[in-house]
Structure 1
Amino acid sequence: MTLICELADLRRLYHRRVPKMFQGYCESGSWSQQTLAENTEDFRAIHFRQRVARDLAPRSLKTSLVGIEAQMPLALAPVGLLGMQHADGEIEAAKAAERFGVPFTLSTMSICSIEAVAEATQAPFWFQLYVQRDRDFTRKLIARAKAVECSALMVTLDLQIIGKRHADHRNGMTAPPRLTLPNLLDMARRPRWTLGMLRTRHRQFGNIQGCAAGVEDMNDLMKWTAGSFDQKLNWDDIKLFRDQWDGPLIIKGILEADDAEACVALGADAIVVSNHGGRQLDGARSSISVLPEVVAAVGDRIEVWMDGGVRSGQDIIRARALGAKAVLVGRPLVYALGALGEAGVYRMLEIFYEEAELTMAFIGHREIDSITRDDVVVR
């Protein structure tokens, strides 16, 4: 049994077990991948102030996210194609999140459907919405999320058009993979993944195929996305979704203070400072570098979260110090899921919790909500 001490251990195992095309989907950014790199690099510029001789027991990372209790200020981000990283991937990840006590967010572009995840879990999960040109289908997606009692709706705004993702084009990424000779050889070298996929019935986009009018073949995901996502999406549309959804509304993809102000004005409950993991506009600023100015603009009128570049529990503390209520993790989720399924995701959450709790102690705090900007120095 491989000893899993840190995220890097899960990532190494992930690379051994998951086919290369899906590794490429996870690991790559857009264009030259500048923003992808800076998302993680800019965290390293944030240094902690170590404090001593403080009462450090007991300690707690517990918090609430849009009124929902969480064991730590972290949620599993919406990631498309999780069910291609591991058989029944969305179900496995949701179960791990439920056991640990943090929110799981199901992507519109999931392999397991909304209903399949709800059937396999007890705790309500969040649903992430990509707005389609087919507005009737979009309304039906929201209704389906309501029907299974999803506890929050997350609308992603930064994917009206798709970024230039060279790795996905080179790899010919499809779900399920095309049975070409290179793909067959790659899958043969990864028997654990292949056997899992042979056993499951979830191999296509469960929320879309068979549900959206005229959608039968999504093999070329890039072309389908370009043709189906709504390029005319605007704030008036978001107001309609606010009116249709009576639970917490989270808006993801915010990088500018004026857009954050617009979210406050329409009554959103939280925003996620995000550049889509460096997969959309390359050259956009890193999420962590933008975070302070967004927090300064909106104050405590709305919860401000962030994603992009979070690779440890220490990064949770860095983000909290700069004003984030919580972080979302995407790539760490994929590494953990692809490596060990539900057990891997649970272990990743344990690692992040342990790292965050220890760091909180070293900087002199017992409660996550007591961390402030004074606990870090930004180089």
Structure 2
Amino acid sequence: FTFVDVAEKPLPSLLRGFSAPVRLSFPYDRDQLMFLMQHDSDGFNRWDAGQQLSVQVLQELIAQHQQGQPLVMDQRLITALGTVLADEQLDQAMVAEMLSLPGEAYLAEISEVADVDAIHAAREFARQQLADGLFDSLLARYKANRELSKATPYVAESAHFARRALQNIALSYLMLSGKPEVLAATIDQFDTSDNMTERLTALAVLVNSPFTEERDKALAVFAENFKNNALVMDQWFSVQAASTQPGGLQRVQELMKHPAFSIKNPNKVRALIGAFAGQNLINFHAADGSGYRFLADLVIELNALNPQIASRQLAPLTRWRKYDSARQALMKAELERILASGKLSADVYEVVSKSLAE
């Protein structure tokens, strides 16, 4: 097709509505991605432009960290997300999704060699920059949605889900400020919310904060209130296992001694061990290999109790080729130790032997 009377070079919005399930490569530059984030009328493409820009910014920060350079944030991402936050006509669930940066596991997956330390440092820096640059807008959105949550009873409707989603991700950014007013708002949400979504988010925000006294109090209150609800306690374990605060392995080891945890209970193993090894990259991939030794010991123990669960917990170790040479050697050594431990179930043997042979 040839289009005439076009005043300036157009910017295409391709495959609108995710109309074809394909991987599309188009050479958008960052200014174009920022424009699409701010103005595209197609929801999927607007979100996708945000993800592409976020990945490019994060990869640039990762490279800066690896080269020992000061981290410098591309302000275009902050500007674009500021426009998204200010757009009150945009569905709140969409705003929440656009504020969600690509996770560390995804950044590791798309890296040729996953540098766990650089990925974590880059993403945490980006989150802090967004929190600082958008603080007033995030606080305004949080307060407005929180007041609505307080004023209206819980209803399982999409509009309410969207409102809570934006409220909760705003709170997670706001806590990065360390401001007393945000801490007070988080505690209030934890204490007074009438639904588990808001309460668990407040708990997770506290667990990932430097406010240790308030964190410990909230964890104790939550455990006491829900000690007889096994599924809710699974969430209590997972929130702590996934925390990227230092000392992650030690926390998990202590939690394994908790009366509500049983290594014979698959849900508890998934909630605690699975969350730690699968979601907490910076702590699981500790440079000394302690996370790998811990998981290997657990798999050897689980092999005799529940071979299926044991084999599924192995997944993080089987990706050993994705990491730097030092971590590769440590992960491979633990797989070899599992293989040599004797009397492996068919499930565990298959996973370990295939991983080492590939």
- TM more than 0.5: no
Higher helix proportion (structure 1 or 2): 2
Higher strand proportion (structure 1 or 2): 1
- Larger RCO (CA under 8 A, 6+ residues apart): 1
TM-score, structure 2 as length reference: 0.30
